[in-house]
Amino acid sequence: MDTEFRSTPRRLRRILPATLTACACLLFHISCSTGNDGASGTGYRGWTMPRPQEKVDFTLTDTEGEPFDFRARTEGYVTLIFFGYTYCPDVCPIHMANIGAVLDDFRIEVRSQIKVVFVTTDPERDTPERLRLWLDNFDTSFIGLRGDRDEVNEIQVALGLPASVIEETEGSGYLVGHSARVLAFTKDNLAHVAYPFGTRQTDWAHDLPKLVDERWE
């Protein structure tokens, strides 16, 4: 026993350089892979659009049944707009959950300057009640909008997004294929940055306060 314990430091010394090298490689890898700050050259972690997208004028119905004039009601705010549906199994709840979690973490001064608008691409199944209930899971301030499928498709195309399509599934159900991109309009009524699926909470937390303060000169 004694012999074994005495020889331990020597063995440790033998494996220590290899372990330290491995740890150094790991730390290097981590430091290189923590976030993608400035990956687009603008300091944003979202995808900076080569040509900013203008806001589109449209009026849809909110979950209270009231008309919602998008341009007028989002004027002067950073507005995230996303097209999806409540039966969506993956992209929609992930985007909404991540944005909701991050907004919770912001100071009220920042939080109060951001609006999140969710437009359903499945108006048949997404009743106002269902839409409201679903959005409230993430944040009660999220705005839910409904309109005819064709009308919503027109808005998507006008915003540079693909129109949504119905995909039949086994049985009587269906999925709705739609863009996974969140457009972020800043106070100049232009969307300079878009957020694809895969945007993480750290990315939102990094970008949203910057978008609130952005002047785009």
Partner 1 sequence: MRLWCTSSQGVAWDWTWQPYIGVWVFIILIAVAYWLHLRRLEPSALKDCAQRRSRIVFFALGLFSLWLALDWPIAPLGMGYLASVHMVQYMLIALVAPPLFLLGFPASSYEKLNDRPRTVATLRNTAQPLVAFFIFNVIITVTHWPSLVDPFMSSQVGAFALDMAWLVAGLVFWWPLIAPVPAWPRFLPMFKLAYLGLNGIIIRPPFFILLFSRFPAYATYELAPPIPGTSALSDQQLAAGIMKLGTALVMVVAMVIVFGEWVRSSKKAPAGSAY
The residues that touch partner 1, with contacts defined as CB under 8 A, are 1-4, 7-9, 11-12, 14-15, 19, 22-23, 26, 29-30, 33-34, 89-90, 93-94, 97-98, 101-102, 105, 197-198, 200-202, 205
Residue closer to partner 1 (CB basis): 66 or 90: 90
Instruction: Quote the least distance from Cβ 38 to partner 1, whole Å.
Output: 18
Instruction: Quote the least distance from Cβ 129 to partner 1, whole Å.
Output: 18
Residue closer to partner 1 (CB basis): 7 or 112: 7
Give the end-to-end CA distance of the chain in Å, rounded to a whole number.
Answer: 73
Instruction: Quote the least distance from Cβ 45 to partner 1, whole Å.
Output: 13
How far apart are the C-alpha atoms of 19 and 177, rounded to whole Å?
Answer: 48
Residue closer to partner 1 (CB basis): 67 or 196: 196
Instruction: Tell me the three state secondary structure of residue 119.
Output: strand
Residue closer to partner 1 (CB basis): 33 or 172: 33
Instruction: Please state the φ and ψ torsions of residue 83, each to the nearest 5 degrees.
Output: -105, 120
Instruction: Quote the least distance from Cβ 64 to partner 1, whole Å.
Output: 25
Residue closer to partner 1 (CB basis): 37 or 188: 37
How far apart are the C-alpha atoms of 89 and 87, rounded to whole Å?
Answer: 6
In this structure, what is the dihedral angle of CA atoms 81, 79, 213, 105, given to the nearest 10 degrees?
Answer: -80
